[in-house]
């Protein structure tokens, strides 16, 4: 049997999740290596070789690709990073864990990954390069734009729309029919009851925009320039 060799974009925790999906699926899939800009070519990640940087992707022959870039730190740049590889969309595959329940009436884009325990209902549309963490629930008729990330155990009720590169944090819950704009971020455990504009960060129950005080912003700037002590930095990191 010919095995299809998969190269993962990004050496991260998401890549470990992808490897578990590949293991669970078995033949004909086989992990062949990882592309990462921060690791040396020839080094190892999870016993896989780093086969180069992201810019070297197009030079690799006889492999297919899956995206592992799904961090809350990079979610607004995700599609640009992938586009920078120069890869044709047809070279990206979809990976769906065998323990996920995905309706045959759902449409899943290239480069998307669906983890174990996920439930994806009928008439759902999921754009290219989207990421669904374990046990995420996507209700009927939801529309997820390209590059969306839905972290583990988050729940989207029916008819929710997520704009491209939106990020939904772990355990968040979104009420039926709302729209989350492009690049918006929903914090962990947030309960979202109304539309969220593009680029906005919302947190809490009920979810509200995250607004830092002037003092917090000033302290954060000082921390970036090394002028805040360890205790103050620790306090900021927990907010």
Packing angle, helices 214-224 and 230-237, rounded to 10: 120
Instruction: Express the helix, strand and coil content of the chain in percent, nearest 5 each.
Output: 20, 25, 50
C-alpha torsion angle, residues 5, 10, 16, 18 (rounded to 10): -50
**What is the separation of C-alpha 123 from the centre of its chain, rounded to a whole number of angstroms?**
21
- Measured between alpha carbons, how far is 185 from 209 in angstroms, rounded to an integer? 10
Sign of the alpha-carbon torsion through 129, 82, 74, 211: negative
Q: What is the DSSP string of 42-58?
A: T-EETTEEEEE-GGGGG
- Residues 174/158, Cβ–Cβ less than 8 Å: no
- Measured between alpha carbons, how far is 220 from 218 in angstroms, rounded to an integer? 5
Residues recognised as catalytic: 140
């Amino acid at each position: 049997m010919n095995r299809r060799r998969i190269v993962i974009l990004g050496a991260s925790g998401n890549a470990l999740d992808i490897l578990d999906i590949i293991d669970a699926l078995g033949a004909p899939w086989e992990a062949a290596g990882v592309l990462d800009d921060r690791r040396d070519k020839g080094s190892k990640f999870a016993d896989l070789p780093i086969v180069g940087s992201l810019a070297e992707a197009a030079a690799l022959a006889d492999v297919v690709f899956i995206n592992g870039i799904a961090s809350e730190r990079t979610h607004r740049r995700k599609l640009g990073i992938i586009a920078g590889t120069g890869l044709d969309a047809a070279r990206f595959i979809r990976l769906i864990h065998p323990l996920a329940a995905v309706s045959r009436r759902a449409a899943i884009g290239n480069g998307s990954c669906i983890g174990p325990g996920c439930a994806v209902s009928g008439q759902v549309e999921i754009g290219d390069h989207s990421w669904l963490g374990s046990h995420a629930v996507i209700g009927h008729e939801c529309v997820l734009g390209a590059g969306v990330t839905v972290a583990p155990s988050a729940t989207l009720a029916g008819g929710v729309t997520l704009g491209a590169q939106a990020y939904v944090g772990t355990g968040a819950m979104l009420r039926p029919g709302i729209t989350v704009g492009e690049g918006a971020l929903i914090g962990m455990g947030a309960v979202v009851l109304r539309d969220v504009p593009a680029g906005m960060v919302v947190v809490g129950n009920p979810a509200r925009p995250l607004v830092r005080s002037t003092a917090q912003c000033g302290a954060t700037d000082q921390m970036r320039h090394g002028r805040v002590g360890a205790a103050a930095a620790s306090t900021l990191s927990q907010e």
